[in-house]
Structure formats: structure tokens, C-alpha cells
Amino acid sequence: MSCSTVPPDNSAFQLPPLNFAISPVPKHPPNKGRHIKTAAALIIGDEILNGKTLDRNSNYFARFCFEHGIQLKRVEVIADDEVEIIEASRRMVQMYDFVVTSGGIGPTHDDITYASLAKSFDQGLVYHNETLARMEVSGKHRAWVSKQTEEQRMARKRMALFPDAAEVIFVASDIWVPVVRLQGKLCIFPGIPSLFQKMLDNLKPFLPLPPEEERPFRLQVFTGLPESSIAPFLTNLQKRVQPEGIQIGSYPVLQKGVYVSLIGANRGRVHQLGVEVEKEVEGRVVTEAEAEAKRQLGCQ
């Protein structure tokens, strides 16, 4: 289950802040061509598939990849099923440079991600002592922890039972949960969106990300014209700029208008084309934040 990583805290007082040490950041090889180019996400959880929980993590990961110049090639949502986890994880690790999993690392019977991934890569399971110690510190001032039975404590300890050859990366001083990395490329995350997002962002120093100059730039033009009216122009424009590696897309917002998206590595060229598009579709360039706000309104 993707939302059971951290038990709820019902205490009435303010907990003291945590201040754990962050894992040492490795030096990545400087040679070009060895950075992450492709990525995939494996979203694990019956509650996603039956509609109980809305998957926000794949969307956040998609934005993360775009912003850092990584091509997100695949997103899959699968059940809390060992066979499915093993098959999908092996396939993704073979095909992509960077793979994340989300969900299934809590204390309950159906939180089977760590155990399934250990089998996937022929590893055993072992308690990680540093994670257990941080778990203990984080629960020291929570009243419910001291009242747990031995069975309940053992269930909580399952959240520190990792594949024995895993790399354990502590990415935030105020989170005891680590990012567990397998095969040098598969990173295991909790399903809780706030944790997933913070841990993914804090993992950046530990990743060989593409250099700034190789990351794409996106410019968006909003027009009130219907998509059918601008389709011929956009079709011809895409044919003209395709040899330059520039992508043109159109995304309608119901009864409001259309966003024309231009994506390319040459920022100056994309801006130049943006001026042309503004004129032809009678539109205007909008910021990413403004575009997202309008899209959200269009979904209501």
C-alpha cells in the first residue's frame, strides 16, 4: 500500500525537530554521455488501481524528468503483487537509466515492495541498522510508539528490512526514511506524495543528471481560437522545425482555448518561433504557472 509508510501522529504537542546526517554525495564521472538519459516509473498499489487513492507521484516525476532533461519513457501502475513487481522491475532496469518505484514499503501485510524487489535481483533481506536507529529517534516523542505490542513493533521494523545489496541513501535531515537504490539505477520511494516529492528533489545531488545545456526548454502560447482553426498552421510548422529537434504540441482546455507548446534545446530558437506562433494564432506567451492554473480551472 502506498500511503502507509509513516503512521499518523495524534499527539497534542509539538514534536522536536529531527536533524539526521545526510549521506555523503558521490562525485559523478565528468565525461559527457554517462548521465541519465531515460527514465521509467513503477507505481505500486492496489489502492491506485481500485480508485481509492489518486496517483500524484507519476505526474510529479514526469515534471522532474522534464525539468532535468531526462526522457521519461514509461509509467506503469501495478498491483501489490510479487510476480508483477518482479517482472516489471527487471524489465525496466534493463531498458532505462533511472527507474523509481512508489508505494508498498509500509508495515502492513500487503506492503511487499522491498521483499519483491529483493527476489527480483536475487538478494536476501536484512535489517538496516542505521535506518532502525533513525526510526527509533523519530518515534521517541510519539506516545503511540511506547504503547505498541511486540507484534506491532516488529511490523514497524519491516520498514527497515531492505535487500541486502542495496545502497541506502539518506537524503533529508528531517526524514528517517531513506531512498533505497538497487542495481545502481532503481530507487525505491514511499507512496505518500509529500514524502515522495521531497525525497525525489533531495536525491538530485546523488544522480548524474544531464548538464544544463542539454536540457529542453518549453514555451507555451495560449490562444482563444479553436484547435481546428490552428491545426493547419501547426501541422506545417512541425514539419518545418522537426529537423531542428523542436516539438510542437497543442492542448485544448474545454470552452477556454488552446495551449500551443514548443519544446527544444535551443532556447533562442524556441523564443523566435514563439513570436511567430503568437502572431499566427492570435495568442500570447504564458508562464508555466499561469498555464497550470488555467488547466486546473479547465478540469473543474
User: Is the pLDDT at 4 greater than 60, yes or no?
Assistant: no
DSSP for 112-167? -HHHHHHHHTT--EEE-HHHHHHHHHHHTT-HHHHT--HHHHHHHHGGGEEETT-E
pLDDT digits (tens, 9 = 90+) for 90-144: 999 999 999 999 999 999 988 999 999 999 999 999 999 999 999 999 988 788 8
- Rounded Cα–Cα distance for residues 264 and 273 (Å): 11
- Rounded Cα–Cα distance for residues 108 and 6 (Å): 11
pLDDT-derived band at 300 (thresholds 50, 70, 90) equals: very low
Q: Mind listing the domains of the chain with CATH numbers? A: 38-206 (3.40.980.10), 216-298 (3.30.70)
More confident residue, 199 or 296: 199
User: Can you say how many angstroms the Cα of residue 251 is from the centroid of all Cα atoms in its chain?
Assistant: 23
Dihedral angle, C-alpha 140, 144, 150, 154, nearest 10 °: -70
User: Is the pLDDT at 247 greater than 70, yes or no?
Assistant: yes
